[in-house]
Amino acid sequence: MSISAGDKLPGATLVQFGENGPEQVALQDKLEGRKVVIFAVPGAFTPTCHSAHVPSFMRTKGQFVEKGVHEIICLSVNDPFVLKAWGESTGASEAGITMLGDPESAFTSAIGMDFTAPPAGLIARSKRYAMVVENGTVTLIHAESSPGECEISAGEGLLAAM
């Protein structure tokens, strides 16, 4: 069953590329006492993720801050090396978007947002979604019906619903 509004997110250890290389990040540390947007993508450098989803949150970051959002996190079932390169190539890192990896798809599976598409080479990946999380509880979630769509989960789509 997929995560829904009103659900508390499970504990998870994700990874990011820090000053000294890969670092573990306790998701709860990012959420406790904060309002956070998490948007997830099927894969770094994939067409819709690269040209639509990440740019939508770069464009709207200031509007989210005005609505009290402390941090915007891009989550992908990728390793921290790939996410570092992707954050740099898109400008997302410079724009202040936090790039976190769920390399084993543990968190993604735990919240029921995983999918597999062997013909595209996407195994145990994340569905495309965006959610607002307040103090660890999901207050709003928009999941796309297809990984190639980026409407309701785009920055503008999530903002319109807040």
Decide if 74 is catalytic. no
Angle CA(79)–CA(48)–CA(135) in degrees, nearest 5?
60
Please pick, among 3, 12, 14, 49, the residue that the annotation labels catalytic.
49
Give residues with Cβ within 8 angstroms of 145, minimum separation 6.
none
For residue 45, the surrounding DSSP H or E stretch is: none
For residue 64, the surrounding DSSP H or E stretch is: helix 54-66
**DSSP label at residue 8:** B
- DSSP result, 67-117: TT--EEEEEESS-HHHHHHHHHHHSTTTTT-EEEE-TT-HHHHHTT-EEEE
Q: What does R_g of the chain's alpha carbons equal in angstroms?
A: 14
What positions carry a catalytic annotation?
A: 49
